[in-house]
Amino acid sequence: MHNKRGEILIESVIFIILNLAFLTILVLFLVKQGASGALLEDAYSKQIALIIDSAVPGMSIEINLEEGFKLAEENGILLEDIVQIEKNIVRVKLSEKGGKEYSFFNNVSVEPYLAGLDEKYGVYVLPIAKN
């Protein structure tokens, strides 16, 4: 009967260690995802695409991406390369390995550019023109 108690204790300890290892890996993954900019890339690409979908030719839209600019600078990405729009696809890149794309349906032409860095840090301008 004495051996039976020892086996239960060992099984419980192994179970607890495996659970702690799993939770540690999960937390590390979530922290890495949050720090890499993947969430910001996804949010920015979707927001820009939705804004373009609701825009009409002649509009000029300013988008504040200040938080994304800070992250891109930390990751060595040129500020001019953060937002790229080709045909109907918005691409946002805040890290070397990252980058998210989202498409829009509005039949317009958009050529994004940075607003004056001295005055408005983190602002992209999206002029909407007829396609």
pLDDT tens-digit profile of 91-129?
A: 999 988 878 999 999 999 999 998 876 555 778 999 999
**Residue 120 has what pLDDT?**
56
Cα separation, 79 vs 44, in Å, equals 14
Least confident of 3-7, 48-52, 107-111, 127-131: 3-7
**Residue 57 has what pLDDT?**
93
Whether pTM exceeds 0.75:
no
Amino acid at 57: P
Least confident of 3-7, 73-77, 94-98, 105-109: 3-7
Cα separation, 49 vs 69, in Å, equals 19
Cα separation, 65 vs 59, in Å, equals 19
- In order of 11, 49, 60, the CA distances from 113 in angstroms are 61, 16, 11
- The confidence band for 5, taking pLDDT boundaries of 50, 70 and 90, is low
Check if the beta carbon of residue 85 is closer than 8 Å to that of residue 63.
no
Smallest CA-to-CA distance from 128 within 42, 30, 38, 48 is with 48
Q: Which of residues 35 and 91 earns the better pLDDT score?
A: 91
DSSP of 49-114: HHHHHT--TT-EEEEE-HHHHHHHHHTT--GGGSEEEETTEEEE--SSS--EEEE----EEE--EE
